[in-house]
């Protein structure tokens, strides 16, 4: 279980080795490729083959609400190189970062073929989810749980 309020929940399931993983990817975790590190760790610990993993990207702040400054833009460009332009959009003089697409890209580059992105924006749906930005820092956290049954 992990708690979130705009950051990206990444859930991983290895149906062959019956292993699970969960990662928390805010902008720092995303540019440091925490999703890739989780896939590699599952391979090391459980023998997971990335091609057979099932991944889910849960509710988090959407690309239309995640404005970022120059320091974050610089880190995105360093981390994603030429692909950074696919992750950044300019609206009304501000840059917005698409955390969903970035983490989906990282998972795909890690060899994961089955990726489900729920595309529920926490900032748009503060009645259902907590959003740090949508609620101006005065918010709770929602929990994401992954488990295996016997």
pLDDT at 70: 97
Strand order in the sheet with 67-68: 67-68, 94-97, 88-91
pLDDT at 101: 98
Compute the distance between CA of residue 39 and CA of residue 61 in angstroms, rounded to an integer.
23
Domain architecture of the chain: domains with CATH:
2-63+99-143 (3.60.140.10)
pLDDT at 94: 97
pLDDT tier, 137 (very low <50, low <70, confident <90, very high otherwise): confident
Compute the distance between CA of residue 60 and CA of residue 3 in angstroms, rounded to an integer.
11
Strand partners, 64: none
pLDDT at 150: 81
pLDDT at 126: 84
Q: pLDDT higher for 132 or 59?
A: 59
pLDDT tens digits for 101-131?
A: 999 999 999 999 999 999 999 999 888 887 8
Q: Up-side HSE of residue 65: CA atoms within 13 Å toward CB? A: 20
pLDDT tens digits for 34-91?
A: 999 999 999 999 999 999 999 999 999 999 999 999 999 999 999 999 999 999 999 9
Answer yes or no: is pLDDT of 138 > 80: yes
Contact at 8 Å (CB) between 118 and 56? yes
pLDDT tens digits for 8-37?
A: 999 999 999 999 999 999 999 999 999 999
The 10 Å CB-count burial string (b at 16+, else e) for 119-132 is eebbbbeeeebbbb
Compute the distance between CA of residue 8 and CA of residue 122 in angstroms, rounded to an integer.
10
């Amino acid at each position: 279980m992990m708690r979130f309020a705009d950051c990206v929940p990444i859930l991983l399931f290895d149906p062959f080795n019956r292993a699970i993983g969960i990662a928390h990817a805010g902008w720092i975790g995303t540019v440091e490729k925490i999703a890739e590190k989780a896939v590699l760790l599952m391979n090391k610990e459980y023998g997971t083959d990335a091609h057979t993993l099932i991944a889910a990207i849960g509710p988090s702040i959407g690309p239309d609400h995640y404005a970022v400054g120059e320091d974050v833009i610089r880190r995105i460009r360093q981390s994603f190189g030429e692909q950074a332009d696919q992750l950044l959009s300019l609206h009304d003089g501000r840059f917005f970062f698409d955390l969903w697409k970035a983490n989906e890209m990282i998972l795909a580059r890690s060899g994961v073929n089955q990726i489900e992105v729920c595309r529920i924006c926490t900032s748009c749906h503060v009645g259902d989810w907590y959003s740090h930005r949508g609620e101006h820092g005065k918010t709770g956290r929602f929990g994401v749980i992954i488990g295996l049954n016997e």
